[in-house]
Amino acid sequence: MKVFVEIVYICSIFIITVICGGSDVSSVTVTTPRAVTFTPSGVARCTQPLDVGFPCDEFSTPVELYHFSTTEEFCEPFEYFGCGGNDNQFDSFDACDLFCSFQGHHRPLTSP
């Protein structure tokens, strides 16, 4: 069974026109919202190099995240320090594997 996953970010854009007369606002017009769709490039996300980031402050504790290794063609755990880094980081192995495998970055699984 094949499953298709598409991650889409939708932003609403409102254009606000304000007509002022001196210090008084005489008219405010808000146009109908217009949806703008952005689809992040999975290829770019999954091919970014490992970046563990840096501690946000002296109290920061690293957390385990996963990144897709283009060398190993597999999702691997790493310690993320909380600030910085790049988009090649996922909360779980499954999220990393699912996202990057649908981008064509996955070693074929073999039967034992």
Fill in the DSSP letter of residue 31.
P
Q: What is the pTM of this model?
A: 0.56
pLDDT at residue number 44: 86
CB–CB of 56/85 below 8 Å?
no
Q: Say what the pLDDT of residue 101 is.
A: 80
What per-residue confidence (pLDDT) applies to 107? 53
DSSP annotation of 100 reads H
Each of the 112 residues of the chain gets a pLDDT tens digit; together they read: 544 444 444 444 444 444 444 544 444 444 444 443 344 555 688 999 999 999 999 999 999 999 999 999 999 999 999 999 999 999 999 999 998 887 665 554 444 4
Tokens of 44: 């770019």
Q: Which residue ranges form the domains of the chain, and what is each CATH number?
A: 9-101 (4.10.410.10)
Looking at residue 105, its pLDDT comes to 56
